[in-house]
Amino acid sequence: MAEFDQTKRAFKLRSERWFNDPQDPSMTALYVERQLNFGLTRGELQSGRPIIGIAQTGSDIAPCNRHHIELATRIAAGIRDAGGVPLEFPIHPIQETLKRPTAALDRNLAYLSLVEVLHGYPLDGVVLTTGCDKTTPACLMGAATVNIPAIVFSGGPMLDGHYHGRLTGSGTIVWEARRMLAEGQIDYEGFMDLVASSSTSVGHCNTMGTALSMNSLAEALGMSLPGCAAIPGPYRERGQMAHATGVRIVEMVNANLRPSDIMTKAAFENVVAVASAIGASSNCPPHMVAIARHMGVDHTLDDWQRVGANVPLLVDCQPAGRFLGEKFHQGGGVPAVMKELLAAGRLNPQAMTVTGKTIADNLAKIADGDREVIRAYEKPMKEHAGFIVLTGNLFDTAVMKISVIDAEFRARFLSDPPDIFEGKVVVFEGPEDYHARIEDPDLGVDERTVLVIRNTGPVGYPGAAEVVNMQPPAALLKRGITALPTMGDGRQSGTSASPSILNVSPEAAVGGGLALLQSGDPIRIDLNTRRVDVLIPEAELAVRRAAWVPPVLLSKTPWEEIQRSMVGQLGSGGCLEPATLYLNILETRGES
Ligand code: FES
Ligand code: MG
Q: What is the pLDDT of residues 251-261, one digit of tens each?
A: 999 999 999 99
Contact in structure between 501 and 409 (CB atoms under 8 Å): no
524: β partners = 422, 533
Instruction: Specify the pLDDT at position 495.
Output: 62
- In this prediction, residues 279-307 reach a mean pLDDT of 97
Kindly tell me if the per-residue pLDDT of 592 is higher than 60. Answer: no
Is residue 358 within 6 Å of ligand 1 at its C-beta?
no
- In this prediction, residues 416-430 reach a mean pLDDT of 90
Is residue 64 within 6 Å of ligand 1 at its C-beta?
yes
Q: Which atom of ligand 1 is nearest to the CA of 204?
A: 4
Instruction: Give the residue, out of 205, 208, 215, with the most ligand 1 atoms within 8 A of its beta carbon, to mutate for a pocket test.
Output: 205
C-alpha of residue 352 to centroid of ligand 1, in Å: 29
C-alpha of residue 156 to centroid of ligand 1, in Å: 11
- In this prediction, residues 363-374 reach a mean pLDDT of 98
Distance CA 257, CA 147 (A): 10
12: how many CB neighbours lie within 10 A of its CB? Answer: 11
Amino acid identity for residue 262 in this structure: I
323: β partners = 317
Kindly tell me if the per-residue pLDDT of 417 is higher than 90. Answer: no
Residue 302: C-alpha distances to residues 24, 269, 285, 391, 463 (Å): 51, 11, 10, 11, 23
Instruction: Specify the pLDDT at position 364.
Output: 98
C-alpha of residue 466 to centroid of ligand 2, in Å: 7
Contact in structure between 435 and 538 (CB atoms under 8 Å): no
Kindly tell me if the per-residue pLDDT of 315 is higher than 80. Answer: yes
Cis before 319? omega within 30? yes
Q: Which atom of ligand 1 is nearest to the CA of 64?
A: 1
Name every residue whose Cβ is closer than 8 Å to that of residue 513 and which is 6 or more positions away in sequence: 393, 394, 395, 506, 534, 541
C-alpha of residue 132 to centroid of ligand 1, in Å: 4
Q: Whose CA is nearest to atom 2 of ligand 1?
A: 205
C-alpha of residue 133 to centroid of ligand 2, in Å: 6
Q: 126-160 pLDDT, tens per residue?
A: 999 999 999 999 999 999 999 999 999 999 999 99
Q: Which atom of ligand 1 is nearest to the CA of 65?
A: 1
Kindly tell me if the per-residue pLDDT of 525 is higher than 90. Answer: yes
Distance CA 238, CA 388 (A): 35
Kindly tell me if the per-residue pLDDT of 565 is higher than 80. Answer: yes
Distance CA 580, CA 40 (A): 37
**Region at 454 (left for phi over 0; alpha for psi -120 to 50; beta for the rest):** beta
Instruction: Specify the pLDDT at position 2.
Output: 56
For 79, the 3-state DSSP assignment is: helix
545: how many CB neighbours lie within 10 A of its CB? Answer: 13
Kindly tell me if the per-residue pLDDT of 422 is higher than 90. Answer: yes
C-alpha of residue 59 to centroid of ligand 2, in Å: 19
Q: Whose CA is nearest to atom 3 of ligand 1?
A: 96
Domain ranges of the chain: 14-36+47-160+200-364, 161-199, 389-547
Closest by alpha carbon to 386, among 367, 369, 401?
Answer: 401
Please report, rounded to a whole number, the percentage of residues in the chain having pLDDT higher than 90.
88
For residues 436-462, one letter each, b for 16 or more C-beta atoms within 10 angstroms of the residue's C-beta and e for the rest, the string is eebeeeebebbeebbbbbbbbbbbbbb
Q: What pairing do the DSSP bridges indicate for beta strands 397-401 and 500-505?
A: antiparallel
- In this prediction, residues 515-539 reach a mean pLDDT of 96
- In this prediction, residues 543-571 reach a mean pLDDT of 97
Q: DSSP for 526-592, please give it.
A: ETTTTEEEE-S-HHHHHHHHHH--PPP---SSHHHHHHHHHB--GGGTS-BGGGGG--SHHHHS---
Q: What is the mean pLDDT of the chain?
A: 95
Is residue 94 within 6 Å of ligand 1 at its C-beta?
no
Q: Which CATH class is domain 389-547?
A: alpha beta
Is residue 466 within 6 Å of ligand 1 at its C-beta?
no
Instruction: Give the residue, out of 57, 61, 66, 97, with the most ligand 1 atoms within 8 A of its beta carbon, to mutate for a pocket test.
Output: 97
Q: Would the CATH topology of 14-36+47-160+200-364 be identical to that of 389-547?
A: no
Task: Please state which CATH number belongs to domain 14-36+47-160+200-364.
Answer: 3.40.50.2300
Contact in structure between 401 and 500 (CB atoms under 8 Å): yes
Cis before 506? omega within 30? yes
- In this prediction, residues 186-202 reach a mean pLDDT of 97
Distance CA 417, CA 168 (A): 37
Q: Which atom of ligand 1 is nearest to the CA of 170?
A: 2
Q: Which atom of ligand 1 is nearest to the CA of 131?
A: 4
Cis before 462? omega within 30? yes
Distance CA 166, CA 153 (A): 30
Closest by alpha carbon to 247, among 493, 81, 58, 18?
Answer: 81
Q: Which atom of ligand 1 is nearest to the CA of 209?
A: 2
Is residue 133 within 6 Å of ligand 1 at its C-beta?
yes
Is residue 199 within 6 Å of ligand 1 at its C-beta?
no
Reported as a pLDDT band with limits 50, 70 and 90, residue 182 is: confident
Q: Whose CA is nearest to atom 1 of ligand 1?
A: 132
For residues 141-152, one letter each, b for 16 or more C-beta atoms within 10 angstroms of the residue's C-beta and e for the rest, the string is bbbbbbbbbbbb
- Nearest ligand, CA 65: 1
Is residue 132 within 6 Å of ligand 1 at its C-beta?
yes
For 88, the 3-state DSSP assignment is: strand
Amino acid identity for residue 479 in this structure: R
Is residue 490 within 6 Å of ligand 1 at its C-beta?
no
Name every residue whose Cβ is closer than 8 Å to that of residue 243 and which is 6 or more positions away in sequence: 74, 75, 77, 78, 81
Instruction: Specify the pLDDT at position 5.
Output: 80
Query: Where are the alpha helices (H) located in 63-127, listed in sequence order?
Result: 68-81, 104-120
Contact in structure between 289 and 301 (CB atoms under 8 Å): yes
Instruction: Specify the pLDDT at position 403.
Output: 84
Q: 35-50 pLDDT, tens per residue?
A: 999 999 999 999 999 9
Is residue 170 within 6 Å of ligand 1 at its C-beta?
yes
| Strand-by-strand arrangement of the 150-154 sheet | 85-90, 51-56, 125-130, 150-154
The Cβ-side half-sphere exposure at 402, using a 13 Å CA radius, reads 29
C-alpha of residue 103 to centroid of ligand 2, in Å: 8
Closest by alpha carbon to 363, among 332, 393, 391?
Answer: 332
Residue 356: C-alpha distances to residues 251, 295, 402 (Å): 9, 19, 34
Kindly tell me if the per-residue pLDDT of 444 is higher than 60. Answer: yes
Instruction: Specify the pLDDT at position 477.
Output: 87
Contact in structure between 139 and 163 (CB atoms under 8 Å): no
Closest by alpha carbon to 48, among 117, 122, 150?
Answer: 122
Is residue 261 within 6 Å of ligand 1 at its C-beta?
no
Is residue 205 within 6 Å of ligand 1 at its C-beta?
yes
C-alpha of residue 67 to centroid of ligand 1, in Å: 13
Instruction: Specify the pLDDT at position 257.
Output: 98
Is residue 209 within 6 Å of ligand 1 at its C-beta?
yes
- In this prediction, residues 410-435 reach a mean pLDDT of 87
Is residue 468 within 6 Å of ligand 1 at its C-beta?
no
C-alpha of residue 430 to centroid of ligand 1, in Å: 23
Is the model's pTM score more than 0.90?
A: yes
Reported as type and span, the H/E element at residue 146 is helix 135-146
Amino acid identity for residue 580 in this structure: T
208 φ/ψ angles, rounded to the nearest 5 degrees: -80, 60
Axis crossing angle, helix 135-146 with helix 210-220, rounded to the nearest 10? 30
C-alpha of residue 323 to centroid of ligand 1, in Å: 17
Reported as type and span, the H/E element at residue 399 is strand 397-401
For residues 64-99, one letter each, b for 16 or more C-beta atoms within 10 angstroms of the residue's C-beta and e for the rest, the string is bbbbbbebbebbbbbbbebbbbbbbeebbbbbbeeb
Q: 470-506 pLDDT, tens per residue?
A: 989 999 988 988 889 999 999 986 566 778 999 999 9
* More confident call, 591 vs 394: 394
Instruction: Specify the pLDDT at position 292.
Output: 98
Instruction: Give the residue, out of 99, 106, 132, 215, with the most ligand 1 atoms within 8 A of its beta carbon, to mutate for a pocket test.
Output: 132
